Amino acid sequence: MSHRPSPPARNEPWIRTLFSAQAVARGGIVRRSVASIEREMGRAAFEAEVRRRKFHLIEIGGQYIVLCNTGEMRLVC
């Protein structure tokens, strides 16, 4: 099975800024609207970037929530 490369981000400066936030460095949470992600870089590129960093991504109520921590995640409720 071959691995396809991740799609390139359409807005590299924007994604660098997003992931340079203090919350990311502390292993915290970054939240952005799905519409904002679509406009700035596209879903596929955003998901690929989150995966590359080994973070966790949740989509709920028109929002993306990125858990900027590579630890094991357990959904409680």
Residue 17 lies in a domain: yes
Given pLDDT bands bounded at 50, 70 and 90, which one contains residue 5? very low
**H helix or E strand, kind and range, residue 51:** helix 43-52
Residue 42 lies in a domain: yes
Query: Given a cut of 90, is residue 60 above it in pLDDT?
Result: yes
Question: Stretch 26-47: mean pLDDT, rounded?
Answer: 93
User: What whole-number percentage of the chain has pLDDT above 70?
Assistant: 87
Residue 7 lies in a domain: no
Taking residue 9's Cβ as centre, other Cβ atoms within 10 Å add up to 18
Residue 21 lies in a domain: yes
Pairwise CA distance, residues 35 & 69, whole Å: 24
Residue 3 lies in a domain: no
Query: Given a cut of 80, is residue 11 above it in pLDDT?
Result: no
Residue 72 lies in a domain: no
Query: Given a cut of 80, is residue 71 above it in pLDDT?
Result: yes
Number of domains making up the chain: 1
* Residue 52: domain span: 12-67
Residue 74 lies in a domain: no
Pair 68, 28: CB distance under 8 Å = yes
